[in-house]
Amino acid sequence: MLYEHEVEFRVRYQETDAQGRAYHGNYVTWFEVGRVELLRAAGHDYKSLEADGVYLVVAELSCQFFAAAEFDDLIRVRTTTARSRGVRIENHYEVFRGETLLATGRSVVACVDNTGKVKPLPQWLRLSKK
């Protein structure tokens, strides 16, 4: 599995708020996009994962905001897998506009079956750091 991946997109008008910036909650969606694209770049797609009965649910989430994104800004999300073993994957995120770091984040997703019961990650999703 890849350790790092970047994805770019523009801030939608729908994502702005009355302060004239991207609403902070959207970064959570952008982290999700980062996770999904990291997985795709590793040759998998999350949709097939769910079709195989492997669901990843968010257990922990954090974000620090340093500068605002605005409508139409070209945003770059760098997603890194810090740890992936047992029943959990930990990802880190950096959100950039050009060279400016706007925000950093971290999430932990847990692997569950279709009843919500925690189960071990598939072997190929585990990360063995050397």
Give me the residues that bind its own copies (CB under 8 A), please.
9, 12-14, 16-21, 23-26, 28-29, 32-33, 36, 45-47, 50, 55, 57-65, 68, 70-72, 116
Q: Judged by CB, which is closer to its own copies: 22, or 125?
A: 22
Q: Which is nearer to its own copies, 105 or 123 (CB)?
A: 105
**Comparison of 43 and 123: residue with beta carbon closer to its own copies:** 43
Cβ atoms within 10 Å of 24's Cβ, excluding its own: 14
Buried b / exposed e across 68-82, counting CB within 10 Å, b at 16+? ebeeebebbbbbbbe
Nearest to 105 by CA among 26, 19, 13: 26
Which candidate, 5, 11, 40, places its Cα nearest to that of 102? 11
For residue 125, what is the DSSP state? Answer: G
Least Cβ distance, residue 33 to its own copies (angstroms): 6
Least distance from C-beta 128 to its own copies, angstroms? Answer: 27
Nearer to its own copies, 3 or 62 (CB): 62
Smallest distance, Å, CB 41 to its own copies?
13
Residue 129 CB, nearest distance to its own copies (Å)? 25
